[in-house]
Amino acid sequence: MSASGVLSFTQQGWEQVLAKVKRAVVYLDSACAESLHWGCGSTRLLEAVGGPDCHLREFEPDAVGGGAKQPKAVFVLSCLLKGRTVEILRDIICRSHFQYCVVVTAVSHAVHLTANHVPAAAAAEMEGQQPVFEQLEEKLCEWMGNMNYTAEVFHVPLLLAPVAPHFALTPAFASLFPLLPQDVHLLNSTRPDKRKLGSLGDVDATALTPELLLQIRCLVSGLSSLCEHLGVREECFAVGSLSRVIAADLANYAPAKNRKKTAAGRASVVFMDRTLDLTGAVGHHGDNLVEKIISALPQLPGHTNDVMVNMIELTALQTEEENCNVVAPGCLAQSNDTTAKALWEALLNTKHKEAVMEVRRHLVEAASRENLPIKMSMGRVTPGQLMSYIQLFKNNLKALMNHCGLLQLGLATAQTLKHPQTAKWDNFLAFERLLLQSIGESTMSVVLNQLLPMIKPVTQRTNEDYSPEELLILLIYIYSVTGELTVDKDLGEAEEKVKKALAQVFCEESELSPLLQKITDWDSSINLTFHKSKIAVDKLFTSLRDIAGARSLMKQFKSVYVPGNHTHQVSRPHPSDYPVLILFVVGGVTVSEVKMVKDLVASLKPGTQVIVLSTRLLKPFNIPELLFATDRLHPDLGF
């Protein structure tokens, strides 16, 4: 099996789609667009469509239909073909002039049978048949207005967005996050007294909501297709309650039985709940440039794992803020540029200092190849130095075209190095190290009392002080790294002081950020009373206590902190006797963690091929959003 298994799996899937899109209007949902973005790039799709016009559209209720000269449509969707998704399909087709419709779904027909409540025994008898897809094909012809028109519905496992040969993400499952103890109370609210769950350790598939169980089955279907592509029979392992449910579902996935009998290779698939260690996700100890880039630069619209790179420096426009939206943004994914792709993979696998030097080296070499008048500089890499190299390409269209991918990564690096958030990164790191030292020597109440003076209202804050969102990140770090708490009077009093201070800060904010709106369930701080704010903060601390107790049910790996060692804070992956290790982190992973896993397995078990998968690429601010989400048990499946 090749090292680029996740890439070939994704590209092979997209080749099946591209074979259908010639001269078609193509509608994609955001998760499939993200898979395309990292897997083979939108230019590959545009080439396959052909023709002078761009016919790519977002799949949404208000999407523009096909005109009189656009008889063909291809819909590429990551979700089940059911409910609201089918209604949107119908509405687009009914206001169009299509005579040929193709619908591609990333969810297998077997899962569609499950979603339509077909019993397992009946589904097994339908092997080789696809009644759900066939019924939708009839509907498509009906909506096009002629039963003699052509309709096709089929499944392609467009599960992954391959970030690197050994690392891929699952955009359709970006919101999937492990359960917390408070979720057990919600599950118990609909269960009879004799069947109440005692703790997260009692949660199994039968305890979950139908929506969450179906979301897991959609994920399992895609992972089974990946194992088929890799030619392996998987042994499933799990660390954490939700991971245990996912692992069991993959191990018992009925449509995979024949595949497992004939597979030549063996692999272990280890699922791990993100909540068991949030320090790695919200901490700043990862010495990696990519982590800083995705934390500093704004998110690319419609994406969960890429950022917008401001390209205005390469144009004749002035750099005023209002001009930024005039020029299309750059990004990190460079799937069609060999040189840029090589640099990107180097950035993922090197420390910050080496990474910025590598960016400079690539820019210097590119400028030299184009005979641009470059002045060599040695020593420390600065954003001004990188910008001086990048601007050499500004008025040379040929050079710009030849090195567009490299210039996007160069600009991303320069913009990150001079971003205020990057300067604050070191402040976070220093405080986290102080916290680690305090946790090793003091009680939790002492640590919280150290944090208290840093909680300042907006009128007293400078750029050096922590915003409410940043304070939440620090609190998540503190509670996750501390682990199970001994609750006493001192801790209760210290928590109450922090709660009151935070509640007051929320009330005095000039404007509530989207995260604070979600936490307080209030749109504006103007009408947010202290009482309402305090209720929200009390709920927030319930989640923090849940985080602290996340490892309490584990027999091993109860601690992620070793006194005196401030660098290694993630437990080792499960050792395996199989030649392939697939680690799936449920709830997101950081670039530093991916590198650490790869390096750790290489040192402990040389020759083992490692593939790291996760629901999303994390930056510190993602964790509060995921942690305080209210729809973990009831994910939106599009119907």
Query: Could you read off the pLDDT of 269-313 as tens digits, one per residue?
Result: 999 999 999 998 999 887 899 999 999 999 999 999 999 999 998
The mean pLDDT of 344-365, rounded to a whole number, is 95
Q: Rounded to whole angstroms, how far apart are CA atoms 601 and 608?
A: 7
Provide the token pair at 244: 């245990």
Q: For residue 379, is it left (φ>0), alpha (ψ between -120 and 50) or beta?
A: left
Q: What integer pLDDT is reported at residue 1 of this predicted model?
A: 44
The residue type found at 513 is S
Q: What integer pLDDT is reported at residue 220 of this predicted model?
A: 97
Q: What integer pLDDT is reported at residue 154 of this predicted model?
A: 97
Q: What integer pLDDT is reported at residue 564 of this predicted model?
A: 46
168 pairs with which residues across the strands?
162, 613
Task: Write the CATH number of the domain with boundaries 6-158.
Answer: 3.40.50
Q: How confident is the model at residue 569 (pLDDT cuts 50, 70, 90)?
A: very low
The mean pLDDT of 326-346, rounded to a whole number, is 92
The mean pLDDT of 496-503, rounded to a whole number, is 96
Q: Provide the 10 A C-beta neighbour count for residue 480.
A: 26
Q: How confident is the model at residue 470 (pLDDT cuts 50, 70, 90)?
A: very high
Q: How confident is the model at residue 51 (pLDDT cuts 50, 70, 90)?
A: confident
* pLDDT at position 567 over 80: no
Strand order in the sheet with 25-28: 56-58, 25-28, 72-77, 100-105, 150-155
Closest of 153, 16, 143 to residue 88, by C-alpha: 143
Provide the token pair at 516: 């604070």
Report the DSSP pairing between strands 609-614 and 265-273: unpaired
The answer for residues whose C-beta is within 8 angstroms of residue 127's C-beta and 6 or more apart is none
Distances (CA, A) of 560 to 211, 358, 612: 32, 32, 20
Three-class SS state of 508: helix
* DSSP labels, 478-491: HHHHH-S----HHH
The residue type found at 520 is T
Q: Rounded to whole angstroms, how far apart are CA atoms 229 and 3?
A: 13
266 pairs with which residues across the strands?
233
Query: Could you read off the pLDDT of 581-622 as tens digits, one per residue?
Result: 999 999 999 999 999 999 999 998 889 999 999 999 999 989
Lowest-pLDDT choice from 332-336, 350-354, 571-575 = 571-575
* pLDDT at position 558 over 70: no
The residue type found at 385 is Q
Domain edges within the chain:
6-158, 162-279+574-629, 298-418, 421-550
Q: Which residue has the higher pLDDT, 230 or 440?
A: 230
Q: What integer pLDDT is reported at residue 555 of this predicted model?
A: 58
Q: What percent of the chain has pLDDT over 70?
A: 94
Q: What integer pLDDT is reported at residue 316 of this predicted model?
A: 80
* pLDDT at position 542 over 80: yes
* pLDDT at position 454 over 90: yes
Q: What integer pLDDT is reported at residue 568 of this predicted model?
A: 42
Q: Which helix (H) or strand (E) holds 353?
A: helix 352-369
Q: What integer pLDDT is reported at residue 376 of this predicted model?
A: 76
The mean pLDDT of 86-111, rounded to a whole number, is 96
Q: Rounded to whole angstroms, how far apart are CA atoms 64 and 57?
A: 8
Q: What integer pLDDT is reported at residue 565 of this predicted model?
A: 43
Three-class SS state of 25: strand
Across the chain, mean pLDDT equals: 90
The mean pLDDT of 74-91, rounded to a whole number, is 96
| Contact call for residues 383 and 359 (beta carbons, < 8 A) | no
584 pairs with which residues across the strands?
271, 613
| Contact call for residues 227 and 234 (beta carbons, < 8 A) | yes
Q: What integer pLDDT is reported at residue 320 of this predicted model?
A: 66
Q: Rounded to whole angstroms, how far apart are CA atoms 167 and 609?
A: 12
Q: How confident is the model at residue 122 (pLDDT cuts 50, 70, 90)?
A: confident
* pLDDT at position 358 over 50: yes
The residue type found at 388 is S
Q: How confident is the model at residue 486 (pLDDT cuts 50, 70, 90)?
A: confident
Q: Rounded to whole angstroms, how far apart are CA atoms 524 and 457?
A: 16
Q: Rounded to whole angstroms, how far apart are CA atoms 476 and 625?
A: 12
Q: How confident is the model at residue 317 (pLDDT cuts 50, 70, 90)?
A: confident
The mean pLDDT of 424-443, rounded to a whole number, is 84
Name the class of domain 162-279+574-629: alpha beta
The mean pLDDT of 319-339, rounded to a whole number, is 82
Query: Could you read off the pLDDT of 200-228 as tens digits, one per residue?
Result: 989 999 999 999 999 999 999 999 999 99
Burial class (CB in 10 A: 0-12, 13-18, 19+), 247: buried
The mean pLDDT of 421-445, rounded to a whole number, is 85
The answer to whether the 6-158 and 162-279+574-629 domains have the same CATH topology is yes
Q: Rounded to whole angstroms, how far apart are CA atoms 234 and 354?
A: 37
* pLDDT at position 572 over 60: no
Q: What integer pLDDT is reported at residue 554 of this predicted model?
A: 67
Q: How confident is the model at residue 443 (pLDDT cuts 50, 70, 90)?
A: confident
Closest of 37, 56, 29 to residue 334, by C-alpha: 37
Q: Using a cut of 0.95, tell me whether the model's pTM lies above it.
A: no
Q: Provide the 10 A C-beta neighbour count for residue 438.
A: 16
